[in-house]
Amino acid sequence: EQQGVEAPVFSAASYACQRSTPQPGHNTLLTDSLAVLAESAELNGDEGRAVAFRRSEALLRSLDRRVQGVAELRGLPCLGEHSRRVIQDVLDNGKSSEVEETKSSSRYKAMKVLTGIFGVGVKTAKRWFTEGICSLAQLETSGHTLNPAQQAGLKYYADLNQPVTRDEADAISVTVEEAVCSVLPGAQVTLAGGFRRGKTSGHDVDFLITHPDEGKEEGLVHKVTACLESRGVLLYHQTTRNTYQESPEGAGRPRSNMDRFERCFSILKLVQDPVQVEADQTDSGCRPWRAVRVDLVVSPISQFAFALLGWTGSKLFEREMRRWAVHEKSMSLSSHALYDNNQKRYLTASSEEEIFAHLGLEYVSPSGRNA
């Protein structure tokens, strides 16, 4: 065994939901590199490869100190050959040639620009790229008919691609809480998503809404959007009603990780602090406001713990929890419920802690879910 100058070998559990993963972690050079490759795979529609890189990235982010050499990573789970090669390259040369090539490729750049438009997914962007569309200007002159989401996405492109700060999220929270409580007194608004995990910026602001009296929350999204609209702060919205009652997932696993809550993907107008506007005037023109993406999700109180867990993320953390549930516990976890396939019954929970306990997992607080 090699001893002496070398740092001790790391150890880590294999599922991200068994670990606490902070943001940003101690190995940002490595995790940023792997994130580019994961993103590139996502943009290619290669889900398997993307998840493999995301798992490697999350594992490195969970380590409690900086990696000095690949020898310390011996025996760690989640790190495939490809990831280890990239890590080695970054440790040896300060960067990975594959990552550099990816970042400078015209395909990656174009796909990032196009999928950066709200309402444009990988499939659409791919089709446009195949037609030679690489920029917003080319898209605008292409003659393609854009759906309402994409039109809004293009219109507010600059704003929506500028990260939302924690202060902005707090200001949006005030607006949303006021609207929710004016249409349904007693309703509870909880900040979910990346901000609940302690991230200092995000691509949107996610809210979960419920009411202590089950049933009172029904139809709430429409009332809230009507209220926001009357206040002149709703720039765009697309509402989906709750479809869980009509076709509950029943015994067996949910067909997809899309849930069935009443929800609204919206763009809100955030009126800015006059001082801030002064400072930002160069890039935001002279408008005293900016557009912010906001997700509103309404959950019945009986499903709230599951909804909160599901909408707090991260995406990979959720994915890993579901994988753990199925493969290690023979259970099906969704944002609505937890079903035990052995006992053939639903396990109820009124807190996230109870859900972790049902799954035989140690509780991970939101700030540790940045997998």
Sign of the torsion angle spanned by Cα atoms 188, 335, 61, 94: negative
Burial class (CB in 10 A: 0-12, 13-18, 19+), 284: middle
Query: How far from chain centre, in Å, is Cα 322?
Result: 16
**For Mn ion, the closer CB: 294 or 349:** 294
Among residues 206, 217, 262, 320, which is the contact residue for ligand GTP, using CB under 6 A?
206
Q: Which does 259 bind (CB under 5 to 8 A by kind): ligand GTP, Mn ion, none?
A: ligand GTP
- From the list Mn ion, ligand GTP, none, partner contacted by residue 318 (C-beta under 5 to 8 A by kind): ligand GTP
119 in Cβ contact with 149 (< 8 Å): yes
Q: Is 159 in the site for ligand GTP (CB under 6 A)?
A: no
Catalytic entry in 64, 206, 273, 283 = 206
**295 belongs to the catalytic site:** yes
Binding mask 160-199 for ligand GTP (x = CB under 6 A): ---------------------------------xx----x
Q: Which of 93, 105, 257, 330 binds ligand GTP (CB under 6 A)?
A: 257
Using rule CB under 6 A, residue 243 touches ligand GTP: no
Residue 273 is a catalytic residue = no
- Does position 57 interact with ligand GTP (CB under 6 A)? The reply is no
For ligand GTP, the closer of residues 12 and 320 by Cβ is 320
How many CB atoms sit inside 10 A of residue 97's CB? Answer: 11
213 is catalytic: no
Distance in angstroms between the alpha carbons of the first and the last residue of the chain? 32
Read off the tokens for 366: 């939101």
What span, in angstroms and rounded, lies between the C-alpha atoms of 371 and 320? Answer: 9
- Rounded to whole angstroms, the Cα distance separating 114 from 136 reads 7
Helix, strand, coil percent values for the chain (each to nearest 5): 50, 15, 40
Footprint of Mn ion (CB under 5 A): 193-194, 202, 204, 206, 295
Footprint of ligand GTP (CB under 6 A): 193-194, 199, 202-204, 206, 257-259, 310-311, 313-315, 318, 335
